[in-house]
Amino acid sequence: MNKVILFDLDGTLIDSTEAIVESFRHALSVHGDVEEVSETKITSQIGHTLETMFAAVGIEAGRIDAHVATYKLYYREISRQKTILLPNAIDAIREASSFARLGIVTTKTGLYSRELMEHFGVMDYFEVLIGREHVENPKPHPEPIFKALEGMRAAKESAWMIGDTRLDIEASNRAGIGSVAVTSGYDNAEQLLTLTDIIQPDALEAVRYIAKSGRK
């Protein structure tokens, strides 16, 4: 069990697109934002913090915190009903746990992410879950990765990150750990190739790549 694998959530292990889009639009509606925001515009920001997502659709800085708070309350209500595990996610987790120690690093709220993973019956596979509230600097900053490794008392030389966006890969590169990008989520292969040439179709194939890797 020398290896450590850190998983992103959205687009890597889970699909909560419906819950995210609905919660986002709910927050806009509650706060009187009448302009319709397309699903594409919202999903193009998934992986970033909620603050960044609302700023990206034009919400003024002084109003963002209120939008985020409304989003979170609504998301917590609907997330378990409107989130699914991606195909092969459970197999990826189980296979990874056979040769590595596991953690989760996400820009989602950690509390709600833990509730989701408990709902799916897989939280016990993970030693740590680092969410937005646990760090000052979210991905692509390396702080969340360092926080996870610190919590696991693991060396970065043994660690890998699996994620679906450039945020995950940049954070991994800056932290000095290995990474495997997956195309099961929100960035496409062309976008991911700007940062890495190690790309797999999903988390299970990423885990199998890591298992064969010579890196510890």
CATH of the domain at 141: 3.40.50.1000
Structural domain boundaries enclosing 37: 17-78
Do residue 8 and residue 31 come from a single domain? no
Q: Are residues 9 and 63 in the same domain?
A: no
Residue at which a domain ends, from 58, 78, 98: 78
- 107-162 pLDDT, tens per residue? 999 999 999 999 999 999 999 999 999 999 999 999 999 999 999 999 999 999 99
User: Residue 121: exposed, middle, or buried by beta-carbon count in 10 A (0-12, 13-18, 19+)?
Assistant: exposed
Per residue in 199-213, pLDDT (tens digit) is 999 999 999 999 998
Q: For the domain that residue 30 is a member of, what is the CATH number?
A: 1.10.150
Query: CA nearest 94: which of 5, 184, 193, 183?
Result: 5
Q: For 64-114, what is each residue's pLDDT tens digit?
A: 999 999 999 999 999 999 999 999 999 999 999 999 999 999 999 999 999
Q: Domain boundary at 59, 78, 97, which?
A: 78
Do 62 and 92 fall within a single domain?
A: no
Indicate whether 203 and 106 sit together in one domain.
yes
Do residues 24 and 89 share a domain?
Answer: no
Are 177 and 73 in a shared domain? no
Instruction: Assess whether 23 and 53 both reside in one domain.
Output: yes
Domain check: are 31 and 92 in the same one? no
Residues 34, 59: one domain? yes
Asked which of 32, 47, 78 is the last residue of a domain, the reply is 78
Do 179 and 159 contact (CB within 8 A), yes or no? no
**Are 114 and 125 in a shared domain?**
yes
Give the DSSP letter string of 45-79: TBTB-HHHHHHHTT--HHHHHHHHHHHHHHHHHHT
What confidence score (pLDDT) does residue 36 get?
85
Q: Are residues 95 and 109 in the same domain?
A: yes
Number of domains in the chain: 2
| 69 and 174 part of one domain | no
